[in-house]
Structure 1
Amino acid sequence: MHGWRLKSVKQSLLQWRRSYSKIPGELKGKYDAVLIGGGHNGLVAAAYLQRSGVNTAVLERRHVIGGAAVTEEIIPGFRFSRASYLLSLLRPQIYKDLELKKHGVKVYFRDPHSFTPMLENRNGQKPRSLLLGGDMAENQRQIAMFSKRDAKAYPEYENFMNRLVCAIDPLLDSPPVDTSAITRGSLLKRLKSLKTLKPLMKAGITLGSDIPKYYEVLTAPISKILDHWFESEPLKCTLATDAVIGAMASPATPGSGYVLLHHVMGELEGKKGCWGYVEGGMGAVSEAIARSATALGAEIYTEKVVKEILVNKGKVQGVVLQDGTEVHSNLVLSNASPHHTFLQLTPKEQLPEDFITTISKFDSKSPVTKINVAVDRLPNFLALPNTPDGKPSPHHQCSIHLNSEDTQLLNEAYEDACKGKPSTRPMIELCIPSSLDPTLAPPGGHVISLFTQYTPYNLSGGRQWNDEERNSYADTVFDWIEKYAPGFKSSVIGRDILTPPDLERVFGLPGGNIFHGSMSLDQLYFARPVPTFSNYRTPISGLYLCGSGSHPGGGVMGASDANAALAAIQDLKYS
């Protein structure tokens, strides 16, 4: 056992050293643009800036680039996508412009994409399960085991939702409507800003007379929408998980429908709605973007902690590092969250008081605890037992939804967290990327990603998220997995537990929120992060927000940074 682990560690370390984008030379004192944060968003922005001839440096505080899209060897021999763990939302134009396949991105497509096993006693028969993928006829056969009516309705539901996705999709690649320019700008600015209405008008034309129905999808609780279409709880709950994942919300929360859309509007290499594992983990995506940026001439530096944004008379001047080094620039783009950018890095006296007040109220509550697990064998689910050879079956390759047989379970788990305690029956999304990607674990071993909720940032009774509380919650999660797949706990080699405060500390996610802030309707589109500054520009001339706290929000998408970079380039051109 120890022999293959040591060999695997050496191999993976060699691979990691070859892939890391080490930038030669020393950080200079002057650039055209400085990017705060080397997450995937900052790296995309740097690539687009440099592509336009803007001399750019990226400053990352950690020892590794990628932000939340990073691969780390936490347990010897096992490489984890430690935070973000699936690829789909990365915008196709970015994929193409930055030549990410050329720079090393290899995707393992998942089909089927969703597996929901049941916990039920069927008089000696194995429990049922729901397996959904790209084959509509097979999906209907699976659903018919629970409801023939739902099996018949499912294709119509998919078509209905896909139409809304088609309407919203172009909005992701465009800046939101510039309400400030339309209402208070000069005549020239008002005329220019009218162009931002075009994608919104196009979306309205796509939806046509059905706009009221789609308005309900965006504003109502997702449980209400799903109750209209379906009667079987396993199907409704499986679909509802995409509406609440990463959100401090339940299926009964108004507006949860948009989060569902945010997770189904992806595309991979021309395949709509596909999600996949990236070979080498999500850090390989960040590495490919970094290679694209550096090939264009951008410079990327790790272990460079930005302490303050330099501002003089309302105009950005650059940044100051923690060690006192000043790096001057005409543009600063922040990949950090709105809270960190404006409440910690920007001098308060340079910002309007009402802006500071609004930013301080930007909701960033998170329900997420991410647990990364190394195991010496695949989980063996009662609903679909493993084959005798122990090799992965199709259901091992997709997102496995546990405690997801009934939407009421999700409501109860959410209510636990609202009372300041971790869910006693948490929602669990279990993924096994090594079932498709053999580079992540030694032979026979596997890496497992557990995306779990609901866990509050602040525990009741003054308790803190110490090791005892972390392990207590993780034990609860493992106990539930054991019910679905007996023997799971004995297969565990090691685990890495990231509660909301841990996600904030390690990855700079405010409140542990994977989107930098709630994706609720009051914090989307021209209200992200605040209604008067939603087009990536800020009250400071030359300072731009390009992270997930700006439109269109979170996920490994790249849209916010590409849009922000283009806005900065446009302003530089006309300055």
Structure 2
Amino acid sequence: MWLRGFSSVPIKEKKKWDALVIGAGHNGLIAATYLARGGLTVAVLERRHVIGGAAVTEEIIPGFKFSRCSYLQSLLRPSIVRELELVKHGLKLLKPLCTSFTPCLDGRYLLLWPNDDQNYLEISKFSKRDADAYPRYESQLHKFCKFMDFLLESHAPETLHGDSYLIDWLRDKLHKSVFWTRCLQHALSLGQKDLVDFMDLLLSPTSKVLNMWFEFLVMMEVLNKMMKKAKGAGLLQGFRANGRRDGGVCVSHLLFANDMILFCDAYEEQILHVRMLLLCFQAVTGLKVNALKSEMVPIGEVPNIHILVEILGCRIRSLPMTYLGMPLGASHKSPTVWNPILEKIERRGVHGSGLWRSIHMGWEDFSKNIRFEVGVGDRMKLWTDQCWDVHFTRRRNDWEMGGVDDFLRTLGSNLPPTENGDHLRWKLTKNGDFDVRSFYNKLRSPLPIIFPWKGVWKVKALRRVSFFVWTAVWDIILTGDNLRGRWMDFVDQCIMCRSNGETVDHLLLHCGKAYRLWSLVFRSFGFSWVLLRLVADTLFGGHLRTWRVQMTSFLPFSVALCLTGPGLRDSTLSDVVKATFAADSIIGTMASIHTPGSGYVLLHHVMGETDGERNIWSHVEGGMGSVSLAISKAAKEAGVHILTNAEVSKLVIEDSGIVNGVLLTDGEQFCSSIILSNATPYKTFMELVPQNFLPDGFVRAIKNSDYRSGTTKINVAVDKLPQFKSCRLNYPEVGPQHTATIRIGSESMEQIGSACQDAWNGLPSRTPVMEMTIPSSLDKTLSPPGKHVVGLFTQYTPYKPSDGSWEDPIYRESYAQRCFNLIDEYAPGFSSSVIGYDMLTPPDLEREFSLTGGNIFHGAMGLDSLFLMRPIKGWSDHRTPIRGLYMCGSGSHPGGGVMGAPGRNAAHVVLQDVKKRSR
């Protein structure tokens, strides 16, 4: 075993330490090393018999050494490798020949290389368009990774707690200002378009990110090539920007996020060519060019501008040549330029405002729907309002005086019914209050049809099915319209018959394939039914009460779903490519590829690098335990003391809320005023810290954090190398596909989504999604000659399955065999080659490695638990409510993986606080 009882001196002789670190995982060891280099005496306490935490190598089966939990290296920060001199201490990375290998059951495979040219050929086998887009997609991710480098190596400044001394408070404010200034500088360096894309990546599901980026990059590249070809043919003329040394460059168009600036001469022929080119682009890609939002800007005198605008169907605009009346480019600091402008404004004053005119434009329609109600008469103006004054046309006779008196008494006795003032009342609402909805419904034209709401919502069908039919009636289910809105190309034709345009009525009723399905259903029910022209007409009458008609009312719902399902599946392009990339976004999580925010985990797995190359996940010679071993050697060199089999039972905290040490399970106590916890936030605060020292809100936030995991790690010893029937490169020896990350069960986005849905329903995935690695293909020290170790990182397995228990050996064996049988479909004979295996389910990961919920990241990596929200809001700078207690594990900023950044950042925070106290 690795480093059993590892210590440089008998640690029991010294009980007082400047700092104690709970947990000898990679983050704890890194933090301890930086603290020792900062002049502190440091001890690391590890509960297990071996150091490394999840980054550990263990010989579970005789002769076979497994990277038991973590299995590949890429995320470890280059600054840590450089500063701790880990290469000198024995860290050796083994780069794979290929980065990713996805075998398919239909005989195809996707093999990605570090080389762009080879990747283009591989992706072209599935989609040439995706092959064209992939370099820009990869470049975009790498650009975001550069932006993330700064965040990863900076501790978050935002906290709910503050310093009590003015100088420290000012210094903290200055640090925050510097941090946010640098963040802003890095954000501005991305540019507006890239910044928007970066926010989409953080907020959007992986499925949307991949669809949007790949399809959008392809479409923009198509338009770019079409423009260049038109320019080369002499159909368009741009302008030449002369350079100082050469002949300059000819600019015909500039592409932006969703826009384009086109430069051409003011000739009708060229504008006509532009119109034809845009129509061709629309026909080829299926995207709509919005001419109404397009604008034509003349430069100089263009007498035929109205003819040109009519050809293109756009609007006329002019470039802003002045600002506040001052010409662009003028010396804006000169008083002589500003004085005439200010004098003009002073003379005009507030006159010239057209605000009331624009408000009054809708008064005619608005006034028809209001009435004036008199309350106490406080708003009445007798000289302008229409009032009734009692005037008799002749003198009253004596016998009429009684009637006149009664009349006046009647008027005088009718006082205002309310004590409220006079007010306007809105006629279109019952309460008389104005709302936008009622006025909007009054202004818009009446609906062209009577909506068959009973035929949609009164039918006893599933609510989601009724909702789908409701969208069909409103004509908003067309595949082409929906895909165009997601930057995906689609020709406007029925995807089933490919002979008519796509409309809702044709798709669901009149298409040849749809009609055959309708006829089959009619024969099954034994009656005749004439299909009506519209979907809405078909649904009328579905609310009738007879049994036969009620049965008939289900038919439109059933047939509609049968028709649209295959059509949507057929429209998906290069699913293998997208699923290969999407698999990175679900590693170690319980999230789906359709979960908002899952795009960040996709970026998280691209952040790492090997020898300066991004997205290269390397094996480590000797297994992942060699990473921890190299760090421990650097720690030993700095004077750190490490004790194994030293499990902490609780923290010793003074009544004042200041930490004073730790108590081990064997009763031994170690004293220190500084403690760094490499455990999960839940274990630290719910098990090690007495609850009475923590604020109630803090405790609730820790308990409510997401620690779910869908990961089960299976380490397998095999007697022969797995051979994939779709790819037999270098057969029967080790081929490039064996050194890569092998993706099993990731042939389609639907397959990954279904696997997650099984786990959400409480069941282990029927078709698990697996990352398969064979480290012995590069490292011969891990297994006997001719034999190999195989790592299976499987998704999804719920912590508590609803159909069994992970404590049941038969249940565990059935899941392991399910994974082996799935591999057999791609690599026949794998199951028969298994010598033995070690299986770690979520409860096993929690019990063995103290990973709460079995989550390898110490907590979910969603957007609500990253950066300033990790581990919880207000406590992201590694400090805690307990003075002297710090978090240095993956549950703190910036997150999980064998990265080392949490440990390094936490050590810097501790050293800053020590320096403050010493002043």
Under a length normalisation based on structure 1, what TM-score does the superposition of the two structures give? 0.94
| Matches for 1:368-447 after TM superposition, within 5 Å | 368-385=711-728, 387-388=730-731, 390-447=732-789
CA distance in 2, matches of 1:214, 1:40: 30
Alpha carbons 2:6, 2:644 under 8 Å: kept? no
| Matches for 1:97-116 after TM superposition, within 5 Å | 97-116=83-102
Deviation at 1:225, TM superposition (A): 1.4
Distance change in 2, residues 1:436/1:21 (3 Å): farther
Please name the residue that 1:354 is paired with.
697
Instruction: Select which of 857, 860, 864 maps to 1:522.
Output: 864
Please name the residue that 1:562 is paired with.
904
Please name the residue that 2:841 is paired with.
499
Please name the residue that 2:668 is paired with.
325
Deviation at 1:206, TM superposition (A): 2.5
Please name the residue that 1:7 is paired with.
none
Moved more, 173-182 or 447-456: 173-182
Deviations 1:230-284 (A, max 9, x none): 5300000000001111111111111111001100010123333221111100001
| Matches for 1:428-467 after TM superposition, within 5 Å | 428-461=770-803, 463-467=805-809
Q: Helix, strand or coil for the counterpart of 1:475?
A: helix
Deviation at 1:179, TM superposition (A): 3.9
Q: Helix, strand or coil for the counterpart of 2:18?
A: strand
Deviation at 1:495, TM superposition (A): 0.4
Q: Helix, strand or coil for the counterpart of 2:786?
A: coil
Please name the residue that 2:445 is paired with.
none
Q: Helix, strand or coil for the counterpart of 1:455?
A: coil
Distance change in 2, residues 1:184/1:254 (3 Å): farther
Distance change in 2, residues 1:298/1:559 (3 Å): same
CA distance in 2, matches of 1:461, 1:378: 34
CA distance in 1, matches of 2:801, 2:6: 40
Please name the residue that 2:632 is paired with.
290
Alpha carbons 2:714, 2:838 under 8 Å: kept? yes
CA distance in 1, matches of 2:617, 2:857: 18
Percent identity, aligned pairs only, is: 50
Deviations 1:61-118 (A, max 9, x none): 0000000000000000000000000011001111011110111111101131100000
Alpha carbons 2:141, 2:606 under 8 Å: kept? no
- Residue 469 of structure 2 is aligned to residue 489 of structure 1: no
CA distance in 2, matches of 1:425, 1:192: 50
CA RMSD, Structure 1 to Structure 2 (Å):
1.7
**Which ranges in structure 2 are unaligned for 5 or more consecutive residues?**
216-572
Deviation at 1:289, TM superposition (A): 0.4
Distance change in 2, residues 1:481/1:344 (3 Å): same
CA distance in 1, matches of 2:599, 2:118: 26
What one-letter code is carried by the residue in structure 1 that aligns with 2:895? Answer: G
CA distance in 2, matches of 1:463, 1:113: 36
Please name the residue that 1:3 is paired with.
none
Deviations 1:330-373 (A, max 9, x none): 20000000000011001111111110111111101000000000
Please name the residue that 1:219 is paired with.
203
| Matches for 1:140-159 after TM superposition, within 5 Å | 140-159=120-139
Distance change in 2, residues 1:571/1:182 (3 Å): closer
- Residue 146 of structure 2 is aligned to residue 172 of structure 1: no
Deviation at 1:181, TM superposition (A): 5.5
- Residue 6 of structure 2 is aligned to residue 25 of structure 1: no
Alpha carbons 1:465, 1:499 under 8 Å: kept? no
Instruction: Select which of 97, 116, 138 maps to 2:118.
Output: 138
Deviation at 1:462, TM superposition (A): 6.5
Runs of 4 or more above 4 Å deviation: 19-22, 181-187
CA distance in 1, matches of 2:803, 2:764: 13
Please name the residue that 1:206 is paired with.
189
Instruction: Select which of 581, 596, 599 maps to 1:239.
Output: 581
What one-letter code is carried by the residue in structure 2 that aligns with 1:323? Answer: D
What one-letter code is carried by the residue in structure 2 that aligns with 1:78? Answer: F
- Residue 74 of structure 2 is aligned to residue 88 of structure 1: yes
Deviation at 1:525, TM superposition (A): 0.2
What one-letter code is carried by the residue in structure 1 that aligns with 2:660? Answer: Q
Q: Helix, strand or coil for the counterpart of 1:264?
A: coil
What one-letter code is carried by the residue in structure 2 that aligns with 1:150? Answer: D
Please name the residue that 2:21 is paired with.
35
Alpha carbons 1:167, 1:202 under 8 Å: kept? no
Alpha carbons 1:23, 1:301 under 8 Å: kept? no
Distance change in 2, residues 1:193/1:463 (3 Å): same
CA distance in 2, matches of 1:86, 1:530: 28
Deviation at 1:191, TM superposition (A): 3.1
Deviation at 1:387, TM superposition (A): 4.0
- Residue 610 of structure 2 is aligned to residue 272 of structure 1: no
| Matches for 1:47-126 after TM superposition, within 5 Å | 47-120=33-106
The structure with more radius of gyration: 2
CA distance in 1, matches of 2:189, 2:730: 47
CA distance in 2, matches of 1:525, 1:185: 27
CA distance in 2, matches of 1:87, 1:138: 24
Alpha carbons 1:140, 1:152 under 8 Å: kept? yes
Distance change in 2, residues 1:96/1:468 (3 Å): same
CA distance in 1, matches of 2:95, 2:127: 29
Q: Helix, strand or coil for the counterpart of 1:330?
A: coil
**Which ranges in structure 1 are unaligned for 5 or more consecutive residues?**
1-12, 121-126
Moved more, 202-211 or 66-75: 202-211
Distance change in 2, residues 1:345/1:183 (3 Å): closer
Distance change in 2, residues 1:185/1:521 (3 Å): farther
CA distance in 2, matches of 1:271, 1:20: 37
Q: Helix, strand or coil for the counterpart of 1:61?
A: coil
Please name the residue that 2:456 is paired with.
none
Please name the residue that 1:345 is paired with.
688
What one-letter code is carried by the residue in structure 2 that aligns with 1:443? Answer: P
Q: Helix, strand or coil for the counterpart of 1:514?
A: coil
Alpha carbons 1:380, 1:386 under 8 Å: kept? no
Deviation at 1:212, TM superposition (A): 1.7
Moved more, 425-434 or 464-473: 464-473
What one-letter code is carried by the residue in structure 2 that aligns with 1:163? Answer: K
What one-letter code is carried by the residue in structure 2 that aligns with 1:221? Answer: P
CA distance in 2, matches of 1:550, 1:138: 39
CA distance in 1, matches of 2:162, 2:176: 6
Please name the residue that 2:173 is paired with.
190
- Residue 602 of structure 2 is aligned to residue 260 of structure 1: yes
Alpha carbons 2:142, 2:614 under 8 Å: kept? no
Deviation at 1:193, TM superposition (A): 2.7
- Number of residue pairs matched? 553
What one-letter code is carried by the residue in structure 2 that aligns with 1:283? Answer: G
Alpha carbons 2:124, 2:130 under 8 Å: kept? yes
CA distance in 2, matches of 1:185, 1:548: 31
Q: Helix, strand or coil for the counterpart of 2:65?
A: strand
Instruction: Select which of 858, 876, 880 maps to 1:538.
Output: 880
- Residue 293 of structure 2 is aligned to residue 308 of structure 1: no
Distance change in 2, residues 1:296/1:413 (3 Å): same
Alpha carbons 1:373, 1:447 under 8 Å: kept? yes
Deviation at 1:185, TM superposition (A): 9.2
Query: Between Structure 1 and Structure 2, which shows a larger proportion of strand residues?
Result: 1
Moved more, 225-234 or 441-450: 225-234
Alpha carbons 1:112, 1:398 under 8 Å: kept? yes
Please name the residue that 2:570 is paired with.
none
